[in-house]
Amino acid sequence: MEEKLLAAEQTLQKYGQEHLLNSFNSLSKEKQAELLDAILTTDFKQMQELYETTKIKTNFENVKLEPIAHVTKSELSSEELAKYTSLGEDAIKAGKLAVVTMAGGQGTRLGHDGPKGTFDLGLDSHKSIFEILCDTMKEACEKYKVTIPWYLMTSDANNESTIQFWKDNNYFGYPKEAISFFIQGKLPMIDTNGKILLDEDGTIKQAADGHGGIFEAMRKNGVLYDMKEKGIEWIYIGGVDNVLAKMVDPVLTGLAISQRTLMAGKSVVKANPQEKVGVFCKKDNRPNVIEYTEISKELAEAVDERGELLYGESHILCNQFHLSALEKISQNKLPYHVAFKKASYLSDKGEVIKPTEPNAYKFEAFLFDAFSTVDNMSILRVKREDEFAPVKNAKGVDSPETARALYKAFYHMN
Ligand code: UTP
């Protein structure tokens, strides 16, 4: 312990973060050890660099922006549909598809006490979001006579409770051996002066590193090796909070095979130019997503000769990657984006502070930043009412109420 403490002191001094040991003596031996380990494994140089990025205003003006080509599922000819379906079904039946569900988020907007997947959607059956997704997976396994490996990404904050929930519910009848959990990475949170925050328990305040953390997490946790050993070629990656997500879609897989692309994504038409969603596009000739905060009013409203929005393919976090693409992406770090959030912390005087206004920077990687590592990706436009019922907010737009209504309409429930 002495040696570690000395090493920690030296590191903190070098980076002006000495305050992290202010409450050290009042901590239990266990927490002291935890704090020292956290200090010794933190990349302070990276944190310093990330703090510098909070002062830079991103300039989108010099980016060359273009719409991206897409295929509309409902407008495919019967020959095209049959071709994609058959290519995709062959791959799925041969066991070449795996599904990854990202469930590491904090779900702050929903405000549910527990992992978002454990939230009861309010159906008569009182099924949780996890069970609803599991129903979709079971149906696909039955249809294609295959057990699809299913990986769930959690975060430090919700890993234990997530695993416990699945155990308690006997994996909702999904083959237990086909389900694996892995934990995403995390990064310290800092205040407006670049000082790393202490958590209420006296250890470093850390937050999940965003859904873009998935690639590194898959490599570090051996998920990519596991997939390779199983002969998996295509990996669907989606969020936990879309209760109408169709994770196993032969048309999406078949489209990527047919177009010889390594990435594919599903889109739904943007409800209106002002809708707060990111849209697929090409940035500097490569696939990407432009966020609603980045796109000009003029471009957001621009239409083509059919009167359709030029930038109207909403990104719904339903994407598919070839294993070789994941292997490549996971070798490099994606850029981090900064968010200013409310975060409780332990003050220098050892008091727990619960701010009412945002006070801390959180750094997150975005999954879609990986799209630009390929020249082209396949975009499949699907119907919103068939495949997109997100649970984001506690009330109003994209809330349990709207998702429940969409779910019931799709399954013809009363
Ligand atoms: P969101 O961006 O909607 O974040 O995540 P969230 O954490 O669920 O909700 P808010 O913003 O705090 O209210 C979209 C998907 O990405 C996953 C989420 O679990 C969700 O499925 N995600 C997000 C992660 O797995 N890890 C992260 O670090 C962030």
Q: What is the pLDDT of residue 219?
A: 98
pLDDT of residue 58: 72
Q: Is the CB of 107 under 6 A from ligand 1?
A: yes
Per-residue pLDDT at 43 = 96
CB of 153 closer than 8 Å to CB of 102: yes
Q: Which atom of ligand 1 is nearest to the CA of 104?
A: 25
- Ligand 1 neighbourhood includes 105 CB (under 6 angstroms): yes
For atom 1 of ligand 1, the residue with the nearest CA is: 105
**Which residue CA neighbors atom 4 of ligand 1 most closely?**
105
pLDDT band for position 395 (50/70/90)? very high
Q: Which residues pair with 371 in a beta bridge?
A: none
Q: How far apart are CA 219 and CA 224, in angstroms?
A: 6
Type of residue found at 394:
A
In this prediction, residue 2 carries a pLDDT of: 87
pLDDT (0 to 100) of residue 250: 98
Give residue 392 CA to ligand 1 midpoint distance, Å.
Answer: 9
| pLDDT score at 391 | 98
Question: How far, in Å, from the CA of 376 to the mean position of ligand 1?
Answer: 26
Q: Pick from 398, 95, 46: which is nearest to 233 by CA?
A: 95
Mean pLDDT of 34-47: 96
Q: Tell whether ligand 1 has an atom less than 6 A from the beta carbon of residue 211.
A: yes
pTM surpassing 0.85? yes
Q: Which residue type sits at 404?
A: R
239 ligand 1 Cβ < 6 A: yes
Q: What is d(CA 78, CA 251) in angstroms, rounded to the nearest whole number?
A: 12
The total number of residues shown for the chain amounts to 414
Backbone angles phi, psi at 128, to 5 degrees: -80, 165
> What's the rounded mean pLDDT across residues 161-186?
98
To test the pocket of ligand 1, the residue of 211, 319, 337 to mutate (highest count of ligand atoms within 8 Å of its CB) is: 211
Quick one: CA dihedral 186, 190, 194, 198, positive or negative? negative
Distance CA 226, CA 297 (A): 45
Looking at residue 358, the DSSP 8-state letter turns out to be: -
Mean of pLDDT values over 351-370: 96
Nearest C-alpha neighbor of 333 from the set 212, 200, 229, 237: 212
- Ligand 1: does its nearest atom lie under 6 Å from the Cβ of 240? yes
Q: Answer for the pair 342, 256: CB distance below 8 angstroms, yes or no.
A: no
Q: Is the pLDDT of residue 60 over 80?
A: no
207 backbone dihedrals φ, ψ, rounded to 5°:
-135, 155
What average pLDDT does range 156-178 have in this prediction? 98
Mutation to probe ligand 1, out of 106, 206, 369 (largest number of atoms < 8 A from CB)? 106
Distance between CA atoms of 58 and 173, rounded to whole angstroms?
A: 47
Taking the centre of ligand 1 as the mean of its atom positions, its distance from the CA of residue 103, in whole angstroms, is 7
What is the whole-number distance in angstroms between the Cα of residue 109 and the centre of ligand 1?
A: 10
CA of 155, closest atom in ligand 1: 26
Residue 87 phi/psi, 5-degree rounding, is -60, -45
Residue nearest to atom 25 of ligand 1 (CA): 104
**Which tokens in the block code for residue 248?**
């196993």
Give the residue ranges of DSSP H helices in 157-204: 159-168
Best CA proximity match to 295, nearest among 274, 270, 313? 274
Structure tokens at 216: 């590194």
Percent of the chain with pLDDT over 90: 96
Which residue has its alpha carbon closest to ligand 1 atom 20?
239
Closest CA to 368 of 315, 323, 302: 315
Q: Convert the pLDDT of each residue in 99-153 to its tens digit.
A: 999 999 999 899 999 999 999 999 999 999 999 999 999 999 999 999 999 999 9
Which residues fall within 8 angstroms of residue 408, CB to CB, at 6 or more apart? Answer: 123, 414
Encoded amino acid at 317, one letter: L
Question: Rounded mean pLDDT of 186-207?
Answer: 97
Give, for 268, the enclosing helix (H) or strand (E): strand 263-269
Closest CA to 319 of 270, 375, 271, 261: 261
210 lines ligand 1 (CB under 6 A): yes
Measuring CA to CA, how many Å separate 276 from each of 105, 124, 272, 390, 398? 19, 31, 9, 13, 11
Residue nearest to atom 15 of ligand 1 (CA): 239
pLDDT, position 63: 87
Confidence at residue 404, expressed as pLDDT on a 0 to 100 scale = 98
> For residue range 85-98, what is the model confidence (pLDDT) as tens digits?
999 999 999 999 99
Distance CA 309, CA 154 (A): 36
pLDDT number for residue 1: 76
Average pLDDT of the chain is 96
Read off the pLDDT of residues 209-261 as tens digits, 9 standing for 90 and up: 999 999 999 999 999 999 999 999 999 999 999 999 999 999 999 999 999 99
Q: Is the CB of 337 under 6 A from ligand 1?
A: no
